[in-house]
Every structure is written in C-alpha cells, then in structure tokens.
C-alpha cells in the first residue's frame, strides 16, 4: 500500500497492543492475569459519574468551545494557580481528549522537519512516535541506571545539538516510577531555559506519588525564573480512574494555547461534552476528590510494597527499579535471554504463553533489557501473577541448563 511519508515509521502502541492481546486471550477462555495495562483497576468515583449523567439529562450533548468549557478551564487554572502561588490565566489552559492528545497537539504545533526533540530513555512508548508524527526526530538521552534513570544537565549536554528544539520529561516516570526531586527538576528546567528549548512536562502521574507531601514535584513548584518556554501536560485518566472518559489538558503561555486550540479545532473539535462535565465535577468537589484520590494512592502504595517484596522473594536475581510514583515496576529480564528468547519481546511472549501473565517488553520503552509490570491490579492478581511469572522464568532457565 502506498502511504504518506507522514506514517512511514509509525508503529502501533505496544502497551495497548499487549493489553488488547491479554483481553482477547481472556475472552477466548484462557486464564490470564493482565499486568500490562497502565490503567487504574478502580472504577471512576460514583459522584463523578453522576455529574456526567446529570449533565446528559440536562441536555449537555452539544459542542462546547474547542478548548473546553470556560468553567472547566477556569477551575483547572485556579487549581494550577494555587499550586504555583501566582495568577494563571484561564486562557492558558486547553482541555484535550486525554493527556496523549495534549502531547500530540503540543509536539505537532511546536516541532517539525529538521528539529530534534530529546526523549529520555526509558520513555513512555508514545513519545518517539508522537515526535515522528510531527516529522521531527526523537534524540534519545540515556540516563545512568545507577542514578535510577534520572537525567542530569550533563546527560542533556551530551545529547543536545544545534537542532534541539524540545525535551519531554515525565515524572513520576512511566515505565520506571522514578521521580525527580525539586532540585533535579529545576536543573533540567534551567538547562532548557538557557538553551531556549521547549520543555514538555508530562505530569499525569503527579498525584500517584509515595513520597512526602502527596504530590510529586512539578513545574509549577519551581521558582518562576527557572522556567523558559514550557507546556505542562496533565489529565484525569490516572488520578481519578477516568481512562475511558478521555480527559486531559495542557497549560502553557496563552499565545501558544490559542495555536493549540486552532490546531485542535480542525482535528477533534472539543473533547466529549459529558466527559468535560464529569471532569468539572471531579475538580470542583475538592473534599471528595482528596479523599478518593488518597484512598487509591494508599492502595497503590500497598501494592507497590507487595510487588517489590514478591519480586525479592520469587525472583531475587532480577534487578528492579524501586518505584517512587506511578504504578509500574520496571525489572530486568536479560538474565533470561537465550537462543530461544533473545530479547524482551520473546521473554514476555514466553511468560504469557507459559504462565498466562501479560507484561510489556522493555523495548516498548527503549530498553530491551527490561520488562514492565503494572501493579494497578488486585493484590490477589499480583501475588498469583508474580508467582506464575517466576515459575515460567525458572522453566526458561532450566531449559537452558
Ligand atoms: N503520559 C503517560 C506517561 C502515560 O502513561 C499515559 C497513559 N496513557 C498518558 C500520557 C496518556 O494518558 P491519557 O489516557 O490521559 O491520554
Ligand atoms: N499509558 C498506559 C500504559 O503505558 C496506557 C496505554 C497507553 O496509552 O499507552 O500502559
């Protein structure tokens, strides 16, 4: 088929691919434990659902302005302003169909042919693809494993060229769960500012944080003078268990927000209207929100502790990155490479075939030595899943002799 060069290097999302395969195998009757999907296993809180139902009943079924309901943009801006302790104009907020869409809008609007965008390895699987869809080039920055995969300005200096126009940072990180401290984040922000490079900060896991203070350090916690041009990306998919509603947003200077809105006006128009009312409900009712988010994070923390413990017990030879945030465990599987299973894709396939446990190969995140499991699953599934995975891997080791 003769397709456009726009999609020359396009590959479908492997994270979505593995979880779709797991769902299919389960529907065929196989006993599958799905630790691949990066989505909370909780339902959206009832009081949030009710807001959408009430909005639909009241006739909120038509277009809204492209950048979202003004009251939703104002509510988001007010929250950001409280965090930043300075005024944030509501025109700086654009509501999108999920955080992925906000990232796509930003990359497509800011980058193009001849531009390099720094992508930190291991990366969330969609970053390089989104950059390439904008016809820019991802330039990979490998951070040291010993430092928990957190990059420093020296790492960035080594990767930057005269073509570098942007950098995408994700903290808490998918797939490692690593979190930049305020100082580490400030160093990256100042590096970007000094070079006039756009800083795209994906803070979708900001509230799923196991350190002090309940929220991982983000761009708005930095002194204003540390920030050059930036786009902050966030959304409700993870912290409110709203993956299916497709509710994300970006915050950036209003002039760029106008461009992002113009772009969005030709691509999707406004995000789904009932979803916007649900998001408004979630963000307006702070008391309920704090209570429910805190409860989910407590459950994720228990599961984080459980999976780290289970890995130590059942697979003590595998190195893991200790997650400070998000709900992923990134663990090395290259010990188990052999002629039959020469890479992370083959190891994960063997795990799935032998034990029915779905995990995502590290190659999806740019590091083929690793695999990722999501601990957004019940304690029972995690316990069974890791036990079964350990048995499957022991069989590979035995077959190797
Ligand atoms: N960024 C990261 C790091 C993610 O893991 C995800 C998960 N899908 C997204 C963005 C996109 O989130 P959304 O579902 O809001 O598009
Ligand atoms: N972000 C999640 C993951 O990494 C959901 C799937 C996706 O959008 O990539 O698994």
Delimit the domains of the chain by residue range.
5-43+289-400, 62-285
Distance of CA 86 from the midpoint of ligand 1 (Å): 27
Interval 7-34: pLDDT, tens? 989 999 989 989 899 999 999 999 999 9
What is the pLDDT at residue 396? 65
Residues of the chain with confidence (pLDDT) below 50: none
Ligand 1 atom closest to Cα of residue 15: 8
Ligand 2 proximity of 270 Cβ (cutoff 6 Å): no
Whole-model pTM: value is 0.97
Backbone angles phi, psi at 89, to 5 degrees: -70, 140
**Ligand nearest the Cα atom of residue 37:** 2
Say if CB 259 and CB 67 are below 8 A apart. Answer: no
Distance of CA 99 from the midpoint of ligand 1 (Å): 5
Backbone angles phi, psi at 80, to 5 degrees: -65, -40
Q: How far apart are CA 155 and CA 151, in angstroms?
A: 6
Ligand 1 proximity of 271 Cβ (cutoff 6 Å): no
Fold of 5-43+289-400: 3.90.1150
What is the pLDDT at residue 130? 98
Fold of 62-285: 3.40.640
Number of helical (H) and strand (E) elements in the chain, helices listed first: 12, 13
Q: Is 62 exposed, middle or buried (0-12, 13-18, 19+ CB in 10 A)?
A: exposed
* Bridge partner list, 140: 119
What is the pLDDT at residue 394? 85
Domains 5-43+289-400 and 62-285 belong to one CATH topology: no
- 357 token code pair: 């446990």
Ligand 2 proximity of 38 Cβ (cutoff 6 Å): yes
């Amino acid at each position: 088929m003769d397709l456009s060069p726009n999609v020359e290097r396009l590959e479908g999302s492997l994270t979505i691919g593995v979880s779709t395969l797991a769902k299919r195998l389960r529907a065929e009757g196989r006993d599958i434990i799905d630790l691949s999907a990066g989505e909370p296993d909780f339902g959206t809180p009832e009081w949030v659902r009710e807001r959408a139902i009430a909005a639909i009943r009241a006739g909120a079924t038509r277009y809204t302005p492209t950048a979202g309901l003004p009251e939703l943009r104002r509510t988001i801006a007010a929250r950001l302003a409280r965090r930043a302790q300075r005024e944030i104009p509501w025109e700086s907020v654009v509501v999108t169909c999920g955080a992925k869409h906000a990232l796509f809008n930003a990359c497509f609007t800011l980058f193009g042919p001849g531009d390099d965008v720094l992508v930190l390895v291991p990366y969330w699987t969609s970053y390089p693809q989104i950059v390439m869809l904008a016809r820019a080039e991802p330039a990979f920055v490998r951070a040291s494993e010993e430092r928990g995969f957190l990059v420093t300005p020296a790492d960035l200096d080594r990767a930057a060229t005269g073509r570098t126009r942007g950098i995408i940072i994700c903290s808490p990180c998918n797939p490692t769960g690593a979190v930049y401290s305020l100082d580490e984040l400030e160093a990256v922000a100042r590096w970007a500012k000094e070079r006039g490079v756009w800083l795209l900060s994906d803070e979708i896991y900001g509230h799923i944080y196991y350190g002090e203070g309940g929220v991982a350090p983000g761009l708005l916690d930095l002194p204003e003078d540390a920030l050059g041009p930036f786009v902050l990306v966030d959304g409700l998919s993870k912290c409110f268990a709203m993956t299916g509603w497709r509710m994300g947003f970006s915050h950036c200077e209003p002039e760029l927000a106008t461009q992002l809105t113009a772009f969005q006006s030709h691509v999707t128009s406004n995000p789904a209207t009932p979803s916007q009312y649900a998001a408004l409900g979630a963000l307006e009712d702070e008391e309920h929100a704090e209570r429910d988010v805190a409860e989910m994070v407590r459950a994720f923390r228990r599961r984080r502790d459980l999976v780290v413990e289970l890995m130590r017990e059942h697979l003590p030879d595998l190195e893991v990155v200790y997650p400070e945030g998000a709900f992923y465990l990134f663990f090395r599987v290259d010990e188990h490479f052999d002629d039959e299973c020469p890479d992370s894709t083959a190891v994960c396939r063997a795990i799935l075939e032998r034990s029915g446990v779905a995990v995502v190969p590290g190659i999806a995140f740019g590091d083929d030595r690793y695999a990722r499991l999501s601990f957004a699953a019940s304690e029972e599934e995690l316990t069974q899943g890791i036990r079964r995975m350990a048995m499957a891997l022991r069989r590979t080791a035995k077959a190797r002799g």
